[in-house]
Amino acid sequence: MNKTKIILDTDPGNDDLLAIIMALKSDLIDMRGLTIVGGNASLENTTNNALSLLTYMGRMEVPVYVGDASALNESSTSPEEFDEFKSHRIEIHGETGLHVSLPKPSIRPREMHAVDFIINEAESNKGELILVPIGPLTNIAMAIKKEPNLKNWLKGIHLMGGAVNVLGNVTEYAEFNIYCDPVAADEVMGSGIGIKLCGLDITRETSVKREETDWLGGNSPAEKIIRQLLDTVFRKLPDRDYFSLHDPITVLSVLYPELIDWEMYDVSVVCTGSEFGKTIGTLNIDGTVEVGVNIDQELAKQKISQILST
Ligand code: RIB
Ligand code: CA
Protein backbone atom coordinates (compact mmCIF):
# COMPACT_ATOMS: atom_id res chain seq x y z
CA MET A 1 0.00 0.00 0.00
CA ASN A 2 1.18 3.53 -0.70
CA LYS A 3 2.44 5.16 2.48
CA THR A 4 2.24 8.91 2.96
CA LYS A 5 5.70 10.48 3.39
CA ILE A 6 5.81 12.96 6.25
CA ILE A 7 8.27 14.93 8.34
CA LEU A 8 7.00 15.69 11.85
CA ASP A 9 8.34 19.04 13.08
CA THR A 10 7.82 18.80 16.82
CA ASP A 11 8.47 20.28 20.29
CA PRO A 12 7.86 17.22 22.52
CA GLY A 13 5.75 18.03 24.64
CA ASN A 14 3.11 15.76 26.15
CA ASP A 15 0.63 15.73 23.26
CA ASP A 16 3.55 15.65 20.79
CA LEU A 17 4.51 12.31 22.40
CA LEU A 18 1.15 10.81 21.41
CA ALA A 19 1.42 12.28 17.89
CA ILE A 20 4.93 10.88 17.37
CA ILE A 21 3.82 7.42 18.55
CA MET A 22 0.84 7.57 16.14
CA ALA A 23 3.14 8.38 13.24
CA LEU A 24 5.54 5.59 14.26
CA LYS A 25 2.73 3.03 14.52
CA SER A 26 0.56 3.89 11.54
CA ASP A 27 1.19 1.59 8.60
CA LEU A 28 -0.09 4.38 6.34
CA ILE A 29 2.78 6.71 7.23
CA ASP A 30 6.40 6.72 6.02
CA MET A 31 8.04 8.89 8.68
CA ARG A 32 11.08 10.35 6.93
CA GLY A 33 12.35 11.96 10.11
CA LEU A 34 11.67 14.15 13.10
CA THR A 35 12.75 17.80 13.04
CA ILE A 36 12.92 19.50 16.39
CA VAL A 37 11.91 22.99 17.47
CA GLY A 38 11.87 24.69 20.85
CA GLY A 39 8.50 25.56 22.31
CA ASN A 40 7.03 23.35 25.04
CA ALA A 41 10.54 23.27 26.50
CA SER A 42 14.03 24.41 25.53
CA LEU A 43 15.44 23.10 22.24
CA GLU A 44 17.86 20.94 24.27
CA ASN A 45 14.96 19.36 26.19
CA THR A 46 12.67 18.87 23.18
CA THR A 47 15.56 17.25 21.30
CA ASN A 48 16.40 14.95 24.21
CA ASN A 49 12.71 14.05 24.60
CA ALA A 50 12.46 13.04 20.94
CA LEU A 51 15.63 10.90 21.11
CA SER A 52 14.47 9.30 24.38
CA LEU A 53 11.02 8.50 22.96
CA LEU A 54 12.50 6.84 19.84
CA THR A 55 14.82 4.83 22.13
CA TYR A 56 11.87 3.79 24.34
CA MET A 57 9.84 2.76 21.28
CA GLY A 58 12.77 0.82 19.79
CA ARG A 59 12.71 3.01 16.68
CA MET A 60 16.29 4.24 16.69
CA GLU A 61 16.34 4.12 12.87
CA VAL A 62 14.15 7.23 12.64
CA PRO A 63 16.50 10.18 12.05
CA VAL A 64 16.28 13.28 14.24
CA TYR A 65 17.40 16.72 13.05
CA VAL A 66 17.75 19.68 15.36
CA GLY A 67 16.25 22.99 14.24
CA ASP A 68 15.92 26.25 16.07
CA ALA A 69 14.57 27.42 19.36
CA SER A 70 11.27 29.15 18.75
CA ALA A 71 11.55 32.91 18.47
CA LEU A 72 9.96 33.52 21.82
CA ASN A 73 12.95 33.96 24.07
CA GLU A 74 14.52 36.38 26.41
CA SER A 75 15.52 38.76 23.61
CA SER A 76 12.04 39.03 22.07
CA THR A 77 10.11 39.70 25.25
CA SER A 78 10.53 41.42 28.59
CA PRO A 79 12.05 39.28 31.39
CA GLU A 80 8.71 39.30 33.23
CA GLU A 81 6.83 38.21 30.10
CA PHE A 82 9.34 35.41 29.38
CA ASP A 83 9.17 34.20 32.99
CA GLU A 84 5.37 34.12 32.79
CA PHE A 85 5.59 32.20 29.48
CA LYS A 86 8.08 29.73 30.96
CA SER A 87 5.92 29.08 34.02
CA HIS A 88 2.90 28.53 31.71
CA ARG A 89 4.72 25.91 29.67
CA ILE A 90 6.26 24.23 32.75
CA GLU A 91 2.80 23.97 34.32
CA ILE A 92 1.43 22.24 31.21
CA HIS A 93 4.42 20.17 30.11
CA GLY A 94 6.72 19.93 33.16
CA GLU A 95 10.27 21.21 33.70
CA THR A 96 11.78 19.10 30.91
CA GLY A 97 8.77 19.21 28.58
CA LEU A 98 7.34 15.80 29.44
CA HIS A 99 5.29 14.55 32.39
CA VAL A 100 6.83 11.06 32.05
CA SER A 101 10.40 9.88 32.38
CA LEU A 102 11.91 8.05 29.44
CA PRO A 103 15.17 6.11 29.08
CA LYS A 104 18.43 7.90 28.32
CA PRO A 105 18.69 8.18 24.52
CA SER A 106 20.83 5.56 22.79
CA ILE A 107 20.96 7.70 19.63
CA ARG A 108 22.15 11.19 18.75
CA PRO A 109 20.68 13.72 16.34
CA ARG A 110 22.07 13.83 12.78
CA GLU A 111 24.58 16.53 11.91
CA MET A 112 22.44 18.22 9.24
CA HIS A 113 20.27 21.15 10.36
CA ALA A 114 16.50 20.49 10.36
CA VAL A 115 15.90 23.17 7.73
CA ASP A 116 18.34 21.54 5.28
CA PHE A 117 16.81 18.11 5.90
CA ILE A 118 13.33 19.47 5.12
CA ILE A 119 14.58 21.05 1.88
CA ASN A 120 16.54 17.95 0.79
CA GLU A 121 13.66 15.57 1.51
CA ALA A 122 11.18 17.79 -0.36
CA GLU A 123 13.50 18.00 -3.38
CA SER A 124 14.08 14.22 -3.37
CA ASN A 125 10.35 13.47 -3.04
CA LYS A 126 8.76 16.14 -5.20
CA GLY A 127 4.98 16.20 -4.84
CA GLU A 128 4.96 13.44 -2.20
CA LEU A 129 6.15 14.96 1.09
CA ILE A 130 3.76 16.41 3.67
CA LEU A 131 5.21 18.58 6.44
CA VAL A 132 3.41 18.11 9.76
CA PRO A 133 4.48 20.93 12.10
CA ILE A 134 3.06 20.44 15.61
CA GLY A 135 5.09 23.14 17.38
CA PRO A 136 6.11 26.71 16.64
CA LEU A 137 6.65 27.31 12.89
CA THR A 138 10.20 28.63 13.18
CA ASN A 139 11.87 25.81 11.19
CA ILE A 140 9.18 25.78 8.51
CA ALA A 141 9.41 29.51 7.85
CA MET A 142 13.21 29.29 7.69
CA ALA A 143 13.00 26.42 5.16
CA ILE A 144 10.53 28.30 2.92
CA LYS A 145 12.71 31.42 3.06
CA LYS A 146 15.89 29.45 2.26
CA GLU A 147 14.31 27.47 -0.58
CA PRO A 148 11.26 29.11 -2.26
CA ASN A 149 10.90 26.01 -4.49
CA LEU A 150 9.44 24.25 -1.46
CA LYS A 151 6.13 25.75 -2.57
CA ASN A 152 6.26 23.57 -5.70
CA TRP A 153 7.98 20.54 -4.16
CA LEU A 154 5.78 19.96 -1.10
CA LYS A 155 2.51 18.00 -1.35
CA GLY A 156 1.21 20.13 1.52
CA ILE A 157 1.43 21.16 5.17
CA HIS A 158 -0.84 19.89 7.96
CA LEU A 159 -0.12 22.07 10.98
CA MET A 160 -1.29 22.32 14.56
CA GLY A 161 -1.74 25.97 15.42
CA GLY A 162 -4.01 28.94 15.61
CA ALA A 163 -7.46 29.80 16.89
CA VAL A 164 -9.47 31.22 13.99
CA ASN A 165 -13.03 31.37 15.32
CA VAL A 166 -12.35 30.56 19.00
CA LEU A 167 -10.30 32.03 21.88
CA GLY A 168 -6.59 31.33 22.22
CA ASN A 169 -4.94 29.30 24.99
CA VAL A 170 -2.00 31.53 25.95
CA THR A 171 -3.87 34.81 25.70
CA GLU A 172 -7.49 35.25 24.63
CA TYR A 173 -6.15 35.86 21.13
CA ALA A 174 -3.15 33.54 20.69
CA GLU A 175 -2.69 29.79 20.50
CA PHE A 176 0.65 28.55 21.90
CA ASN A 177 2.46 27.46 18.69
CA ILE A 178 1.62 30.73 16.95
CA TYR A 179 2.35 32.79 20.09
CA CYS A 180 5.89 31.34 20.18
CA ASP A 181 6.75 32.69 16.73
CA PRO A 182 4.00 34.80 15.09
CA VAL A 183 6.31 36.19 12.40
CA ALA A 184 7.21 32.67 11.26
CA ALA A 185 3.54 31.67 11.39
CA ASP A 186 2.51 34.66 9.28
CA GLU A 187 5.17 33.79 6.68
CA VAL A 188 4.03 30.15 6.49
CA MET A 189 0.32 31.07 6.27
CA GLY A 190 1.11 33.54 3.46
CA SER A 191 3.51 31.22 1.57
CA GLY A 192 0.91 30.00 -0.92
CA ILE A 193 1.65 26.37 0.05
CA GLY A 194 -1.55 24.33 0.56
CA ILE A 195 -2.15 24.15 4.31
CA LYS A 196 -4.61 22.22 6.44
CA LEU A 197 -4.81 24.14 9.72
CA CYS A 198 -5.74 22.11 12.80
CA GLY A 199 -6.37 24.91 15.28
CA LEU A 200 -8.05 25.11 18.67
CA ASP A 201 -11.32 25.34 16.70
CA ILE A 202 -11.18 21.53 16.48
CA THR A 203 -8.41 20.44 18.87
CA ARG A 204 -9.36 21.98 22.22
CA GLU A 205 -12.59 20.00 22.71
CA THR A 206 -11.34 16.75 21.20
CA SER A 207 -9.83 15.50 24.42
CA VAL A 208 -9.38 12.62 26.84
CA LYS A 209 -11.43 13.36 29.95
CA ARG A 210 -10.03 12.89 33.45
CA GLU A 211 -12.34 9.92 34.06
CA GLU A 212 -11.41 8.27 30.73
CA THR A 213 -8.11 6.83 31.93
CA ASP A 214 -9.18 3.53 30.34
CA TRP A 215 -9.12 5.26 26.96
CA LEU A 216 -6.16 3.02 26.15
CA GLY A 217 -6.61 -0.41 27.73
CA GLY A 218 -3.69 -2.45 26.47
CA ASN A 219 -0.24 -3.04 27.94
CA SER A 220 2.03 -2.28 25.01
CA PRO A 221 4.95 0.05 25.79
CA ALA A 222 3.09 2.84 23.98
CA GLU A 223 -0.16 2.37 25.90
CA LYS A 224 1.67 2.10 29.21
CA ILE A 225 3.67 5.31 28.75
CA ILE A 226 0.62 7.24 27.52
CA ARG A 227 -1.49 6.05 30.48
CA GLN A 228 1.35 7.07 32.80
CA LEU A 229 1.49 10.48 31.12
CA LEU A 230 -2.28 11.06 31.40
CA ASP A 231 -2.31 9.94 35.06
CA THR A 232 0.53 12.36 35.85
CA VAL A 233 -1.03 15.26 33.94
CA PHE A 234 -4.35 14.90 35.77
CA ARG A 235 -2.59 14.47 39.13
CA LYS A 236 -0.38 17.55 38.63
CA LEU A 237 -3.18 19.67 37.16
CA PRO A 238 -6.13 19.05 39.54
CA ASP A 239 -8.17 21.81 37.91
CA ARG A 240 -7.70 20.34 34.41
CA ASP A 241 -10.51 17.86 33.52
CA TYR A 242 -9.39 17.11 29.97
CA PHE A 243 -6.23 16.48 27.94
CA SER A 244 -6.65 18.02 24.50
CA LEU A 245 -5.43 15.91 21.58
CA HIS A 246 -4.01 18.91 19.67
CA ASP A 247 -1.05 17.21 17.98
CA PRO A 248 -2.58 13.72 17.55
CA ILE A 249 -5.49 15.30 15.64
CA THR A 250 -3.00 16.93 13.28
CA VAL A 251 -1.42 13.55 12.45
CA LEU A 252 -4.96 12.13 12.13
CA SER A 253 -5.79 14.89 9.61
CA VAL A 254 -3.14 13.40 7.29
CA LEU A 255 -4.68 9.93 7.54
CA TYR A 256 -8.41 10.72 7.77
CA PRO A 257 -9.05 14.32 6.57
CA GLU A 258 -12.69 13.33 6.03
CA LEU A 259 -13.24 13.33 9.81
CA ILE A 260 -12.83 17.10 9.72
CA ASP A 261 -14.92 19.79 7.98
CA TRP A 262 -12.59 22.17 6.17
CA GLU A 263 -13.30 25.72 4.96
CA MET A 264 -10.92 27.67 2.69
CA TYR A 265 -9.50 30.87 4.18
CA ASP A 266 -6.75 33.40 3.85
CA VAL A 267 -4.99 33.48 7.21
CA SER A 268 -2.67 36.13 8.60
CA VAL A 269 -1.09 36.52 12.02
CA VAL A 270 -0.91 39.60 14.25
CA CYS A 271 2.75 40.14 15.16
CA THR A 272 2.63 43.19 17.43
CA GLY A 273 0.48 44.78 20.09
CA SER A 274 -1.98 43.28 22.54
CA GLU A 275 -3.39 40.84 19.96
CA PHE A 276 0.12 39.38 19.37
CA GLY A 277 -0.20 35.84 17.97
CA LYS A 278 -3.82 36.12 16.84
CA THR A 279 -4.70 34.19 13.66
CA ILE A 280 -7.07 36.21 11.49
CA GLY A 281 -9.06 34.14 9.00
CA THR A 282 -10.94 35.58 6.01
CA LEU A 283 -13.15 33.15 4.10
CA ASN A 284 -11.83 32.96 0.53
CA ILE A 285 -12.66 30.13 -1.87
CA ASP A 286 -9.39 30.94 -3.70
CA GLY A 287 -7.37 30.95 -0.49
CA THR A 288 -4.63 28.44 0.40
CA VAL A 289 -5.37 27.65 4.05
CA GLU A 290 -8.07 25.07 4.74
CA VAL A 291 -9.17 25.68 8.31
CA GLY A 292 -10.62 22.79 10.28
CA VAL A 293 -13.94 24.18 11.51
CA ASN A 294 -15.59 21.02 12.84
CA ILE A 295 -14.57 17.46 13.75
CA ASP A 296 -16.28 14.18 14.57
CA GLN A 297 -14.78 14.17 18.07
CA GLU A 298 -15.76 10.67 19.17
CA LEU A 299 -14.71 9.03 15.89
CA ALA A 300 -11.44 10.98 15.94
CA LYS A 301 -10.68 9.82 19.51
CA GLN A 302 -11.59 6.26 18.52
CA LYS A 303 -9.26 6.33 15.48
CA ILE A 304 -6.42 7.85 17.53
CA SER A 305 -6.74 5.18 20.23
CA GLN A 306 -6.90 2.45 17.56
CA ILE A 307 -3.63 3.65 16.01
CA LEU A 308 -1.94 4.00 19.42
CA SER A 309 -3.10 0.51 20.41
CA THR A 310 -1.79 -1.30 17.35
O1 RIB B 1 -1.69 24.89 21.67
C2 RIB B 1 -1.36 23.52 21.59
C3 RIB B 1 0.00 23.33 21.01
O4 RIB B 1 0.97 23.93 21.85
C5 RIB B 1 0.40 21.85 20.93
O6 RIB B 1 1.25 21.65 19.82
C7 RIB B 1 1.16 21.64 22.20
O8 RIB B 1 2.13 20.60 22.08
C9 RIB B 1 1.85 22.95 22.39
O10 RIB B 1 3.02 22.91 21.60
CA1 CA C 1 3.43 20.51 20.12
Q: Does the beta carbon of 246 lie inside 6 Å of ligand 1? A: yes
Q: Does the beta carbon of 68 lie inside 6 Å of ligand 1? A: no
> Can you say whether the dihedral through the CA atoms of 46, 272, 285, 153 is positive or negative?
negative
Helix H segments across the chain? 14-25, 43-56, 79-93, 114-124, 138-146, 150-153, 176-180, 182-189, 200-203, 221-236, 246-255, 297-308
In this prediction the pTM is 0.96
| Distance, C-alpha 64 to centroid of its chain | 15
Residue 285 CB-density burial (10 A; 0-12 exposed, 13-18 middle, 19+ buried): exposed
Residue 248 CA to ligand 2 centre (angstroms):
9
Q: In which residue ranges of the chain is pLDDT below 70?
A: 71-77
CA separation for the pair 165, 235 (Å, rounded) = 31
pLDDT at 140: 98
CA separation for the pair 144, 197 (Å, rounded) = 17
pLDDT at 22: 98
Residues 6+ apart with CB under 8 A from 232: 99, 100
Residue 134 CA to ligand 2 centre (angstroms):
5
Q: Does the beta carbon of 175 lie inside 6 Å of ligand 1? A: yes
Residue 232 CA to ligand 1 centre (angstroms):
18
Q: Does the beta carbon of 263 lie inside 6 Å of ligand 1? A: no
H or E element: which one contains 37? none
Q: Which atom of ligand 1 is nearest to the CA of 169?
A: 1
pLDDT in tens, 125-181: 999 999 999 999 999 999 999 999 999 999 999 999 999 999 999 899 999 999 999
Q: Does the beta carbon of 109 lie inside 6 Å of ligand 1? A: no
Catalytic residue among 93, 113, 158, 246: 246
pLDDT at 273: 87
Q: What is the residue extent of each domain of the chain?
A: 4-309
CA separation for the pair 194, 248 (Å, rounded) = 20
Asked if 221 and 208 count as a contact pair (C-beta separation under 8 A), the reply is no
> How does DSSP assign 160-184, residue by residue?
E---SSS--SSSSSB-HHHHH-HHH
Backbone angles phi, psi at 244, to 5 degrees: -70, 140
Q: Does the beta carbon of 13 lie inside 6 Å of ligand 1? A: yes
pLDDT at 173: 95
Residues within 5 A (CB) of ion ligand 2:
11, 13, 16, 134-135, 247
Residue 90 CB-density burial (10 A; 0-12 exposed, 13-18 middle, 19+ buried): middle
Say which ligand is closest to the CA of 203. Answer: 1
pLDDT at 77: 65
CATH of domain 4-309: 3.90.245.10
pLDDT at 162: 98
Among this protein's residues, is 93 annotated catalytic? no
pLDDT at 69: 87
Say which ligand is closest to the CA of 198. Answer: 1
pLDDT at 217: 87
Strands 260-269 vs 289-295: parallel, antiparallel or unpaired: antiparallel
